[in-house]
Amino acid sequence: FYLGLVTLFMALAIPLVASHAGWAGKASGLSLATVQTFVQHPAGVNLYRVGILILSLLAGYAWLIKNSRLGRRFGSLMASEDLAQCVGVTPYWTKLVAFLLAAVPCGIGGAFYVYSQQFISPGSVSATLSITILAGLVIGGGGTIIGPIIGTALVGAASEFLGGFSKYQG
């Protein structure tokens, strides 16, 4: 619960700070198109294939973690903090490791987003998008690896195809 609140706070606070920071391009953001030496390669369909490959590798990364000794520690902590402490798992350090391991796919996803769009600004990723992704994770199920991928794809597709109902989005 607290991690969710901190994440929502960061989704609101970071764009606000970035819109006033000169090194981040202020409200206009940063564009890779202005860099003379930047050439997007791969692009188009090949970039899509690279994205699918990255998604597959990250799903494999999650599978390796889930089926490891550390994954069993995460499972005991998810079941009950008291149970985890009884079997010798320290909840604080286990949560910290989970947060650090989750930062890897987040960083890769953010880098891929900036590379594919060639632009980032404080308004590029809104709090609404964060809530939509969280809804996809909940719909797909948190105990699986493929479930959140499918849930997020379904929620994203629904928001794209049901654009006529945008006034009812909230």
Residue 125 banded pLDDT, cuts 50, 70, 90: confident
Question: What is the overall mean pLDDT for the chain?
Answer: 82
Mean pLDDT check: name the lowest of 54-68, 74-88, 110-124: 110-124
pLDDT at 69: 92
Say if residue 84's pLDDT is above 70.
Answer: yes
pLDDT exceeds cutoff 80 at 148:
yes
Encoding tokens for residue 63? 């599978």
Q: How far is CA 127 from the centre of its chain?
A: 12
End-to-end CA distance of the chain: give it in Å, rounded: 21
pLDDT in tens, 9-27: 877 787 777 777 776 667 6
Spatial contact of 145 and 63, defined as CB atoms under 8 Å apart: yes
Pick the more confident residue, 122 or 84. Answer: 84
Q: What is the mean pLDDT of residues 159-167?
A: 73
Residue 25 has a pLDDT of 66
Helix, strand and coil in the chain, % to nearest 5: 75, 0, 20
Please name the residues in contact with 136: beta carbons below 8 A apart, sequence gap of 6 or more: 148, 151, 152, 153, 154, 155, 156
Picking from 98, 94, 106, 96, the residue whose alpha carbon sits closest to that of residue 58 is 106
Query: pLDDT class for 54, splitting at 50, 70, 90?
Result: very high
Beta carbons within 10 angstroms of residue 60's beta carbon: 11
Can you point out the beta strands (E) in the chain?
A: 30-31, 119-120
Most confident of 15-19, 73-77, 124-128: 73-77
- What pLDDT is attached to residue 39? 75
- Residue 110 pLDDT more than 90? no
Cis previous bond, 91, omega within 30? no
